[in-house]
Amino acid sequence: MGEKEDILLKLLDGKGELTTSEVEAEMKGSGNECPDGAVKSLMRLKTMGLIEGRIDRVRRGWVWKVKH
């Protein structure tokens, strides 16, 4: 796992559920943009079993959170 994934985990752990767009905005705003894109990093973390993702119709997209 790389530095960007660590930052994503801390972000989701601190903020709770975030949409993909919200994750991208937070990462960009903090100067920690993912070079391969937030989606790939989020999917990598999901595959590793560290985060959960689900489609939220109200928020109109994928919502991500840390698995506890």
Our count of domains for the chain comes to: 1
The three-class DSSP label of residue 34 is coil
Beta-bridge partner residues of 55:
62
Per-residue model confidence as pLDDT tens digits over 14-57:
999 999 999 989 888 777 666 567 888 899 999 999 999 999 99
Phi and psi at residue 19, to the nearest 5°: -75, 165
The torsion angles phi and psi of 56, rounded to 5 degrees, stand at -115, 115
* Range(s) of the domain holding residue 53: 3-66
Looking at residue 1, what DSSP letter applies? -
pTM of the model: 0.85
Alpha helices in 1-68 (DSSP H): 3-15, 20-29, 38-47
Backbone φ and ψ for 51, nearest 5 degrees, come out as -135, 165
Read off the CATH number of the domain in which 21 is found: 1.10.10.10
